[in-house]
Amino acid sequence: MADLNVEKQRIAMAVEFDGSAFHGWQKQDNAASVQAELQAALAAIEGDSVVTVAAGRTDSGVHAEAILVHGDVSAARWQRSHLAYLHGLNSKLPDTVRVIGVKAVKPDFHARFDCRERAYRYQIWNRNTLSAIHRWRHWWMPRELDVQVMQEAASYCLGTHDFSSLRASGCQAAHATRTINRLEIRKTGDAIEIEVAADAFLYHMVRNLVGNLVEVGVGKQSPDGFRELLAMCDRSKGAATAPAHGLYFIDAVYDGFSSRELIGRS
């Protein structure tokens, strides 16, 4: 039995994972999850259960490049060698999950509640043929997309708004008001990237946003029509939800650091 008097150290971990291998972040009874794998690896090192908390939940199939997770571990074991702890943890994880950065934080630090901004990237493969390489990393869109008009429509999302038009029916948030700080669309070759950062997101908000921007990009909706859709605050008037496998959690920002800044640190 583990010594209940062992002094604990709360650590923040930047975690990368391939979402195609999991039914999302959150631990589930009958499905593979990232949280279950990470907690099993921590338990193997600690000799006791470790509860982890992430900056946000991800759906089945969604990937992460640097989601921030906290957990409490043995202070003595952690202080012995941060790098050894990091490598030991990764040795217990499947190839589809990696802790890519870690640091000590205060005992009351909370990965979810202390997060000031979260950022996602959505990737689209815009070519008339499906890619053999990018098949499960991008949403394949064979029709040509007009990135310029998509960016015009996206500009209407900047700032603080009621995003009920982008809110999935299963959302449990108390309200739909969110603040989008940045929304950029870039095209490089056949790949289009939509990057969005906000104080918080509603359930399926990014995927619903992408679905509607694609409607603008193919000419089914105008930028002004998209602005009117946002003002309606009615999800039923919007486009279909974009598939999960094109979405990546890329950053979580806190006072003094972000999850991306932890990459390579130990």
State pLDDT tens for residues 151-187. 999 999 999 999 999 999 888 899 999 999 999 999 9
- What number is the average pLDDT over the span 32-43? 97
Query: What b/e readout covers 189-208, taking b as 16+ CB neighbours within 10 angstroms?
Result: ebbbbbbbbbebbbbbbbbb
Q: Where are the domains of the chain?
A: 8-114, 117-250
Token pair of 160 as six digits: 């603080």
CA atoms within 13 A on the CB side of 176: 20
pLDDT of 135? 84
Architecture in CATH of 8-114: 2-Layer Sandwich (3.30)
Other beta carbons less than 10 A from residue 225's beta carbon: 13
The 3-class secondary structure across the chain, one letter per residue, is CCCCCCCEEEEEEEEEECHHHCCCCCCCCCCCCHHHHHHHHHHHHHCCCCCCEECCCCCCCCEEEEEEEEEEEEHHHHHHCHHHHHHHHHHCCCCCEEEEEEEECCCCCCCCCCCCEEEEEEEEECCCCCCCCCCCCCEECCCCCCHHHHHHHHHHHCEEEECHHHCCCCCCCCCCEEEEEEEEEEEECCEEEEEEEECCCCCCHHHHHHHHHHHHHCCCCCHHHHHHHHHHCCHHHCCCCCCHHHEEEEEEEECCEECHHHCCCC
Average pLDDT along the chain: 95
- What number is the average pLDDT over the span 32-49? 97
pLDDT class for 25, splitting at 50, 70, 90?
very high
Whether residue 138 contacts residue 127, with contact meaning beta carbons closer than 8 Å, is answered with no
Paired with 187 in beta bridges are 192
Q: Whole-prediction pTM value?
A: 0.94
pLDDT class for 5, splitting at 50, 70, 90?
low
Q: How distant is the alpha carbon of residue 173 from its chain centre? A: 17
**CA-closest candidate to residue 250, choices 100, 80, 40, 48:** 100
Q: Tell me whether residue 59 is one of the annotated catalytic residues.
A: yes
CA atoms within 13 A on the CB side of 148: 0
**CA-closest candidate to residue 92, choices 23, 27, 40:** 40
Total residue count of the chain as it appears in this document: 266
Tell me the per-residue pLDDT of 108-130, one tens digit each, with 9 for 90 and over: 999 999 999 999 999 999 999 99
Of the candidates 18, 29, 59, 224, the residue annotated as catalytic is: 59
Q: 8-114 and 117-250: same fold?
A: yes
**CA-closest candidate to residue 33, choices 12, 9, 54:** 54
Is 203 annotated among the ligand-binding residues? no
Architecture in CATH of 117-250: 2-Layer Sandwich (3.30)
pLDDT of 244? 96
- What number is the average pLDDT over the span 4-23? 90
